[in-house]
Each structure stands twice: as C-alpha cells, then as structure tokens.
Structure 1
C-alpha cells in the first residue's frame, strides 16, 4: 500500500526531500533564525561599520535624489514636505529591492548547504527577506523621526495603511524571490534580468514624483493597471501613512492622494498573494533539480 507524500514511515520518520513548502518554514523557525544570523554575520564580516551601512546607503541615496530632483529640478516646491515624501518611498523601494534581489540569489548562494543536507529550500529566500527587514527597521526609525519633526499626527487608518503597505511589498518580494530564485538555479541569466527589473521598478514607482504625474501621462486603462502594481500601492500606502499625516494646510502645495487608495491596496495584496502562490508552486516543481544543477 502506497504511503502519502511527506507522511511518516513505519519508524516515524518523514520521507526525505518531501515537504510542505512555506509551512515547513513556519515549523522550522529556529532554522530560519540561524540562517538570518548567518547571512548578517557573513555580510558584515570584516566590515568596520557593520549594520551602520543600513543608515549610510539610504542616506546617500536620499541625498542624491533630493538634490538632483528636489533642489535642481525644484520638486520640493511642487510637493509639500518633499523630503518626507521622498524618503517614505525610498524605504519601501529599498526593502523590495533587497528582498527580491537577495532572494533570487539565495539558493545559488547557499549551494554548499543545498548539496550536503536536506532542509526546506524555501528557508533561503525567506531568510533573505528577513535580512532585508532587519535593514528596513533602521530606515523606518529615521523616517519616523523625520515625520515627527514635520508634525506627523497619524490616524488609525494611516497606521493600518503603513502596515498594509509593508505586508503587500513583503509578500510580493517573497513570491517573486521564490519564482526567480528557483529558475535562477537553472539559468543564471535571471540574476541580471532581476537587476534590470529592479532598476525599472525604482523609476516607474511614485517615489521621485507624484501619482498625478503618471495619470496625466498615460491612458486611463494603463493608469488602472499602474495602480494595481503592488509596489505602487505599497509606496502610496506609505505616503498616506507617513507623508500625508505630516503635511500642513497652507504650508505649500496641497497634498493629494490617488483615489480609492485603500481599495487598490487590498487588490494589490490579492495580486501579491497570487504571485506568492505561483512562486511557491514553481519553487516546489523545480527544487528536486537544485542539488544536481548546483
């Protein structure tokens, strides 16, 4: 009589190489913590600044964008509290870029572990997303300090919007990381493809400019598609949570938000969940070839 896949055998052991995907990651949280610590330790080994690079990189990035667009192109005159607007978008894009980019390289970067022992391979891209979240926290602290100085007085809905924006982007990055990370084991060109995608996402998301700039430039149907992009929704939800709550009437150009923001955020979460399911299914289908391909 055949035994179901993943079921224990007569001795109480589970058939090796068979798992339940992301559910195994939840059950093996201790392994996830070990992988996150290992990635952080390896990344900053021999570094003088260590985790302080989480502050330096976004600070330089913010300075370049602020002076190039805010001062030289005078976006700070067109958008009230442009510094808060800009940085609240940057922290989202940085988190997405690091999560997605590192998750794509997670399996190939842990080739030695994949070939030597069995453990849920989803742990590697998920651990990369957790490392990105560790780097996200210092940037969020800076954002909070900046918004408080600007007069941030958030409502409950704005706080919930910020949480929703983070969940949307984290879910999307994990799903894409699973999808492209599994394919990257077979075709290493996908690392370069993902780098190009991240470049496009940075400049097509409403981080450096406002949503109505896009609305005026594209047809109506394309604008709706643009709004359903989970990264776009994540950025705008952060704008609603941290920038909109800090703007002051009469202090500059009126702050406006895209219509039906929370509704589009819910739809974006649904899209991100679909991407997560597709990424998990693709990962499960290809993971049996990881060891031999690596």
Structure 2
C-alpha cells in the first residue's frame, strides 16, 4: 500500500471532488450531519426521555459517541460501494483494487477531523483536562476502528460486486451500530440487563472504541462525585482494548484475503 501512496492520494482527491461537486456547503456538510444527529438524539433521549438527568454533561457524552460512530459508518458504507462506484475506472486501467476502499476510509477520516475539532472545543468549554494517556488512547481507538472499517469495507466491497444484496446488509448493520454501542446510553444499563452475558456486548470493537472516547473526552469534564455515577468499564484498557484490536486486525486480514480472491474477476463482473 505504501508503494502506491501517490495513486492513493489521487484517489482521495478524486473522491472528495466528486462527493462535493455541485454542492453549495461542500465540506461544511461534515459539520451539518453530526449536528443534526446530535440535536435529534439530544431532544428525543436527553430531554423527552430525560437521560440527561442521570448522565452529567450528557451533551458531551452524546456528541463524543456520535463523532466516533459516524467515522465508522461513513467509512464502511462508502467502502462497500467503492468498487461499484469506480466500475468505469476499473474496466479501463489496472491498479490495485484495494486502493478504492482504503481511499474512502481516508476521506472519512478527513471528515472526522472537523467534527473532532468541534468536540474538543465543547470539552474545553466544559473544563476538559485530559491526561497524556487519554489522548494517546484516542489515537489508538481511532486507528483500531479505521482498521475495522477497512477490513469490513474490503470484505463487503468485494462481495458487493458479485452479490448486490451485500450493500443492503451493510445498510442494516449501519442502522444498528449506533444502538449496539454505548453512544446514547451508559454502559451500566446494558450490564444490568445482560448480567453474565455482558462480555458478548464488550466483544464489539466499536463498543470499546466508544468507551475509550468517553473516557478521554467525557470523563475529564466530570467531578469526582459525577464519575462515581458512571464508572469506567472494568479492564477496559488492560483486557478489552487488546481484544478489540485483535478482532479488528483479524477482520482486516479476512477482508484482505477475500478481496484478493474475488478481485481477480472484478472487471468481468462489472
């Protein structure tokens, strides 16, 4: 991949230009979509269902989760469609097919950065004082979910060439993702319901990533008494993070293996 970095750079530029061609707001859509999501969830859950009453600084808690999950959903959704969207280019010239899903993940990362800047600004207004290890874990969590999205993007992107139902399957997965991770609610609610089966919930790398984002952005805005209301999940860094990284890397290798086998006949199938 490193040897093809120039081609990858060109594809990223192309993706950004194509996506915002004819758009008035352009890159500002990176702010509009998460802001609308935040307002809808905050009003529906924070105010109507009163979740903000038992969750201090619920607005920061909610936005931190939304920003993180949005990166994953955008990456996976676009990576799944990347081969079909570039069918004309694939038919005409040969270049490593893996570059297309990877380019879409990098474009999603470019959209993620403005949202992250807004999150940091909101946290600073709330008295955010993170430690160095918390900032480092943010980078680790971001890389982990990028690996996960790339692996799944390669897998479903290749399958989508042969089975167009793959895109619908991914759409259903993305519809569930926000609710399958502690974005809108506290993890302790899940633990109370699932009991000894809580470990199944924690096996989701996205769950671990969201919890780390909350630990890095939300926890430093709380007082000691408020942290007691929502303690950090046990063994988050010592056990669950390594497990999540291992699962993400395994999915990347699986996706890459399937992609290589199926990509041989992409041009014919397209």
Residues 233 and 264 in structure 1, CA contact (< 8 A), matched pair in contact too: yes
Residues 188 and 230 in structure 2, CA contact (< 8 A), matched pair in contact too: no
Q: How many residues align?
A: 269
Equivalent residues in 2 for 1:135-150, closer than 5 Å: 135-150=111-126
RMSD: 1.2
**Equivalent residue for 2:149?**
173
Residues 79 and 154 in structure 2, CA contact (< 8 A), matched pair in contact too: yes
- Find the aligned partners of 2:174 and 2:262 in 1 and give their Cα distance: 24
**Equivalent residue for 1:248?**
223
Runs of 4+, deviation exceeding 4 Å: 250-253
Residues 80 and 255 in structure 1, CA contact (< 8 A), matched pair in contact too: no
Residues 164 and 237 in structure 1, CA contact (< 8 A), matched pair in contact too: no
**Equivalent residue for 2:201?**
226
Equivalent residues in 2 for 1:1-294, closer than 5 Å: 25-220=1-196, 222-250=197-225, 254-262=229-237, 263-294=239-270
Residues 79 and 252 in structure 1, CA contact (< 8 A), matched pair in contact too: no
- Find the aligned partners of 1:57 and 1:28 in 2 and give their Cα distance: 32
- Find the aligned partners of 1:174 and 1:252 in 2 and give their Cα distance: 34
Looking at secondary structure, tell me which structure has more helix per residue.
2
- Find the aligned partners of 2:232 and 2:126 in 1 and give their Cα distance: 18
Q: Which runs of 5+ in 1 are unaligned?
A: 1-24
Structure 2 length-normalised TM: 0.97
SS in 2 for 1:244: helix
- Find the aligned partners of 1:213 and 1:251 in 2 and give their Cα distance: 16
- Find the aligned partners of 1:251 and 1:164 in 2 and give their Cα distance: 26
Q: Which runs of 5+ in 2 are unaligned?
A: none
Residues 158 and 245 in structure 1, CA contact (< 8 A), matched pair in contact too: no
Deviations 1:216-268 (A, max 9, x none): 11141x31121121100110010111111111234687332111111211110
Shift of 1:72: 0.9
- Find the aligned partners of 1:48 and 1:278 in 2 and give their Cα distance: 40
Structure 1 length-normalised TM: 0.89
Which has the larger Rg? Answer: 1
Shift of 1:291: 0.4
- Find the aligned partners of 1:62 and 1:253 in 2 and give their Cα distance: 25
- Find the aligned partners of 2:232 and 2:56 in 1 and give their Cα distance: 13
